[in-house]
């Protein structure tokens, strides 16, 4: 039976686009569904201000009347025009195990790229570095996190059969937090604080966090500027992330470090894992989804590092020891027995060195693929 790929734009079809992986991975114990409303707003120019600097085309693949795949083709004009990267992005790639479906979807991406004189296609990625990125190539039997995509092993096989090659790869670790905190953690953290005249901040509520949020995103831009997926985070995006994520952050899991002038120089955001709560919510906040998320926020035995930002002048200086000492204490206080790191580039040995005292296990790898269009 032939495959038909259709570009979609109606709200009804975008909802089908968003829900397709929920059908594809139905009853899969490792897949974590997104909140449908949030995912749909990602593709709504009235809600997602990234469309000020980006264009997006959504496609669904059909075999007769059955949906068998999806893909988003993206051009980030800041990346193309200001960073001079002639890149055609693609993301939200999901399909059945049929390479002809994958080929048909990627052909739509290639065609748009060629029409815009772009030189290569790369993905899976989102609009910016704040979106999900990377195709899972190791860890198919590990629970996904809120900020990563999950996929079957055949995705990788399809990409390589279609002539795509590895562009970059991220690794993820899991570890059991030490209990009690080793004395060397305390000694090193105190030494770093004294040497560089640094102080850690503690917050009682989210309102106390708000004055530091813009500075956090500034640090993110400085920290991740060398990533292949990097596009500077714009103020309108910062405002959106504030609205979207601040309400679910537990201030006890936020660590900030300031210098002697009170300027933010480092931060780490960890969060209780929402993976199981999102599985129970199954894409819907109401009527019960929000209750599962609130329960996970307050009581959990699993946590994840989501964002870490460090000023370039302090990278490699041990400032993370100050934050991790407090993070470890928080894990003990909340009964956290397992922690996962956020994806980090495989050759970023400086970041991976942060976990060495935790006896980490590399349990996931994810990759972005690239193919020349000319």
User: What is the number of domains present in the chain?
Assistant: 2
Q: What is the CATH number of the domain that holds 59?
A: 3.40.630.30
Q: Which of 169, 197, 215 is the last residue of a domain?
A: 169
Task: Let me know whether 11 and 149 are in one domain.
Answer: yes
Q: Is the pLDDT of residue 227 over 70?
A: no
| b (16+ CB within 10 A) / e for 202-239 | ebeebeebeebbebbbebbeebbeeeebbbbbbeebbe
Tell whether pTM > 0.85: yes
203 and 70, same structural domain? Answer: no
Asked if the structure places residue 297 within a domain, the reply is yes
On whether both 19 and 148 belong to a single domain, the answer is yes
* Burial annotation 132-145 (CB, 10 A radius, 16+ → b, else e): bbbbbbbbeeebbb
Instruction: List, for residues 72-85, the tens digit of each pLDDT value.
Output: 999 999 999 988 99
pLDDT in tens, 140-169: 999 999 999 999 999 999 999 999 999 999
Number of neighbours of residue 149 by Cβ within 10 angstroms: 24
Does a structural domain hold residue 136? yes
Q: Do 155 and 217 sit in the same domain of this protein?
A: no
Question: Is pLDDT at 338 greater than 80 in this prediction?
Answer: yes
Across residues 265-290, what is the average pLDDT?
92
- Structure token digits, residue 293: 């998320």
Average pLDDT over residues 102-107: 98
Domain boundary at 145, 169, 193, which? 169
Which of 98, 101, 115, 131 lies closest to 57, judged by CA? Answer: 115
Q: Looking at 222-231, 259-268, 327-336, 355-364, which range is the least confident one?
A: 222-231
Full domain range(s) for residue 198: 177-358
Q: Are residues 113 and 231 in the same domain?
A: no
pLDDT digits (tens, 9 = 90+) for 328-337: 888 888 889 9
Residue with tokens 């530091």: 212
Same domain, 134 and 11: yes
Query: Going by C-beta distance under 8 Å and a sequence separation of 6 or more, which residues neighbour residue 46?
Result: none
- Structural domain contains residue 196: yes
List C-alpha distances in Å: 170 to 31, 87, 134, 344, 355.
Answer: 19, 20, 8, 5, 15
**In this predicted structure, what is the pLDDT of residue 298?**
83
Classify residue 304: in a domain, yes or no: yes
Q: Quick one: 39 and 69 in the same domain?
A: yes
- Do 69 and 49 lie in one domain? The reply is yes
Domain presence at residue 372:
no
**366 in a structural domain:** no
Residues 188 and 165 in one domain: no
Same domain, 220 and 155: no
Is 263 in the same domain as 225? yes
- For residue 202, pLDDT over 90 is answered with no
User: Does some domain include residue 365?
Assistant: no
Do 217 and 93 sit in the same domain of this protein? no
With respect to residue 118, please indicate whether it lies within any of the assigned structural domains.
Answer: yes
């Amino acid at each position: 039976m032939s495959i038909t790929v259709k570009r979609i734009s109606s709200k009804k079809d975008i909802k089908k686009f968003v829900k397709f992986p929920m059908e594809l991975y139905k009853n899969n114990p490792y897949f974590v569904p997104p909140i449908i409303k949030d995912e749909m707003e990602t593709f709504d120019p009235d809600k997602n201000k990234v469309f000020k600097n980006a264009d997006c085309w959504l496609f669904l693949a059909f075999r007769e009347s059955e949906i068998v795949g999806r893909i988003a083709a993206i051009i980030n004009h800041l990346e193309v025009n200001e960073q001079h990267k002639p890149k055609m992005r693609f993301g939200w790639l999901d399909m059945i195990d049929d390479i002809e479906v994958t080929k048909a979807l990627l052909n739509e991406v290639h065609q748009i790229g060629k029409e815009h004189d772009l030189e290569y296609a790369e993905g899976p990625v989102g609009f910016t570095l704040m979106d999900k990125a990377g195709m899972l190539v190791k860890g198919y039997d590990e629970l996904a996190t809120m900020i990563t995509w999950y996929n079957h092993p055949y995705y990788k096989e399809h990409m390589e059969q279609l002539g795509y090659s590895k562009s970059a790869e991220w690794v993820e670790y899991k570890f059991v937090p030490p209990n009690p905190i080793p004395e060397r953690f305390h000694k090193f953290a105190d030494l770093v604080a004294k040497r560089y005249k640094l102080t850690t901040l503690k917050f009682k509520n989210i309102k106390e966090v708000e004055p530091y949020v813009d500075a956090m995103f500034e640090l993110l831009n400085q920290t991740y500027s060398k990533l292949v997926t990097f596009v500077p985070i714009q103020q309108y995006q910062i405002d959106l992330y504030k609205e979207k994520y601040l309400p679910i952050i537990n201030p006890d899991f936020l660590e900030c470090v300031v210098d002697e002038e009170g300027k933010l120089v480092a931060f780490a955001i960890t969060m209780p894992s929402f993976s199981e709560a999102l599985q129970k919510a199954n894409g819907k906040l109401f009527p019960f989804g929000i209750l599962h998320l609130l329960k996970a926020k307050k009581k959990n035995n699993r946590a994840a590092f989501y964002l870490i930002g460090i000023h370039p002048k302090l990278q490699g200086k041990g400032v993370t020891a100050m934050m991790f000492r407090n993070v470890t204490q928080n894990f003990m206080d909340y009964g956290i027995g397992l922690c996962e790191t956020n994806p980090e580039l495989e050759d970023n040995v400086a970041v991976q060195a942060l976990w060495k005292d935790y006896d980490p296990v590399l349990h996931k790898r994810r990759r972005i693929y690239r193919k020349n269009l000319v």
